Amino acid sequence: MHDEIFIGLLGRRNQGKSALMNLLTGQQVSIVSDTPGTTTDPVKKSMEVFGLGRCVWIDTAGWDDEGGVGFQRVERSRRTLNLLQAAVVLFSHNGFGEAEQEICGALAQKRVPFVLLHNKRDEEPLSDALKADLARRYPDCPIVDFSTVQAAADTDDPAAPLIAALKTLLGAAHAAPRPVLEGLIQAGDLVLLVTPIDAEAPKDRLILPQVQISRQCLDLHAGCLLCQPEELPQMLQRLNAPPRLVITDSQAFKEVHAMLPAEQPLTSFSICLARQKGPFDAYLQGTPHIARLQDGDRLLLLESCTHQINCHDIGRVKLPNLLRQRTGKQLQFEFVSGLNPLPDAPDRYAMVIQCGGCMVTGKQLEQRLTPFIDAGVPVSNYGMALAYLQGIFDRAVAPFRKG
């Protein structure tokens, strides 16, 4: 799961993309000059933006770059679109022409929401006529009339109008997720997190689910203790009471399961995260249907986040392979990515498996699954289905069933 929001700064040359990049980051990240074509390759800078989270700003070469390697630069800017969760389309002097329309069209096609930012208002403010025209043509896009140069002189909160527009744009998609541990633990409890550090662990860091769950423990005023599976018996001995809950990486589930007494509540990071979004109870009921799949059954895999390479691999490769292997059945798979329309007849499917949905809202997820649930089709999600296929489902969902 990605916790960073990639936001592209797009537009023709000389519109102030790099000046805006520097304003947003408060640093001289990109070169600014009045020579069109200054920025050649995309420039990225990551930072925490209050109220939005971790953002990666991407400054790009002008969409209208030309001559020599200009075409290749434009191609690079175009490719950047595949990374984006949001964009800022810059234009100035009331010049909204073919290039801008093309950028907006390309963003819309990729379902990337964007802000229209009329820059250099100190030289020429956005006209009412163009503003009205844009509002009609792009009803979902906030329009901001802005001056990067003037804002830079305002030391207080220079990019406030743009950040506010981005929050509006991303607000729904980044609404606070449901608390993962709520009802399972209380203030003062201790949670033990089991995290193997193997060759695939990122250098010097923990992966996002572990960070998120540690944070949730703190939010709920509980404590958490982290260890690797080998040290688990030692850690348990040191405690004068068993932890309220043990949460382990799915990979170590079997090992951890064997080490802990049967009455110790144990779950996995992936099951916890399945609780964050989507119809968790329907997932709980639907997942065991995997055992009842038959030859010729058709499964629908919904991969809601088009940008998530990791989910893509799980959904298109890992899950279908594991499902075929573990069930030994001839299964057929269909995929729908992004928020593309769903097939008409939900009851054609023996089962629907939804991705974690980290880039869509819980509401969108539930809306998409409702027709299947109403038609009595079992639904599951990637994390739950993987847990089931690894034989860890029953114990890992027991703490949630009690609640």
Ligand X SMILES: Nc1nc2c(ncn2[C@@H]2O[C@H](COP(=O)(O)OP(=O)(O)OP(=O)(O)O)[C@@H](O)[C@H]2O)c(=O)[nH]1
Using CB under 5 A as the criterion, which residues of the chain lie in contact with Mg ion when the complex forms? 17-18, 38-39
Nearer CB in complex with ligand X: 77/210 = 77
Confirm if 303 and 335 have CB atoms less than 8 A apart: yes
- Least CB distance to Mg ion at residue 132 (A): 29
* 15 makes contact with ligand X (CB under 6 A): yes
Q: CA 109 to CA 117: how far, in whole Å?
A: 19
- Among 118, 120, 275, 368, the residue binding ligand X under the rule CB under 6 A is 120
* 34 makes contact with ligand X (CB under 6 A): yes
Q: What's the gap between Cα 233 and its chain centre?
A: 35
- Least CB distance to ligand X at residue 226 (A): 44
* 147 makes contact with ligand X (CB under 6 A): yes
Confirm if 174 and 136 have CB atoms less than 8 A apart: no
- Least CB distance to ligand X at residue 95 (A): 13
Q: If we measure between CA atoms, which residue out of 266, 267, 303, 273 comes closest to residue 209?
A: 273
Q: Which residues ranging from 47 to 106 are in contact with ligand X (CB under 6 A)?
A: 61-62
Helix residue ranges per DSSP H, 172-263: 208-219, 232-238, 253-259
- Least CB distance to ligand X at residue 42 (A): 11
Residue 151, both tokens? 């804002």
CA–CA–CA angle 193, 400, 319 (5° rounding): 75
* 144 makes contact with ligand X (CB under 6 A): no
Site stretch for ligand X (CB under 6 A), options 15-23, 196-204, 219-227, 369-377: 15-23
Helix residue ranges per DSSP H, 241-361: 253-259, 269-274, 280-286, 309-313, 319-327
- Least CB distance to ligand X at residue 18 (A): 3
Q: Residue 383's binding partner, choosing from ligand X, Mg ion, none, with beta-carbon cut-off 5 to 8 A by kind? A: none
Site stretch for ligand X (CB under 6 A), options 126-134, 142-150, 351-359, 380-388: 142-150
Q: How far is CA 56 from CA 46, 86, 157, in A?
A: 4, 10, 19
Q: If we measure between CA atoms, which residue out of 282, 52, 53, 277 comes closest to residue 178?
A: 277
Site stretch for ligand X (CB under 6 A), options 13-21, 43-51, 107-115, 336-344: 13-21
Residue 174, both tokens? 């980044």
* 17 makes contact with ligand X (CB under 6 A): yes
Site stretch for ligand X (CB under 6 A), options 105-113, 141-149, 294-302, 322-330: 141-149
Binding site for ligand X (CB under 6 A): 11, 13-19, 32-34, 36-39, 61-62, 119-120, 122-123, 147-149
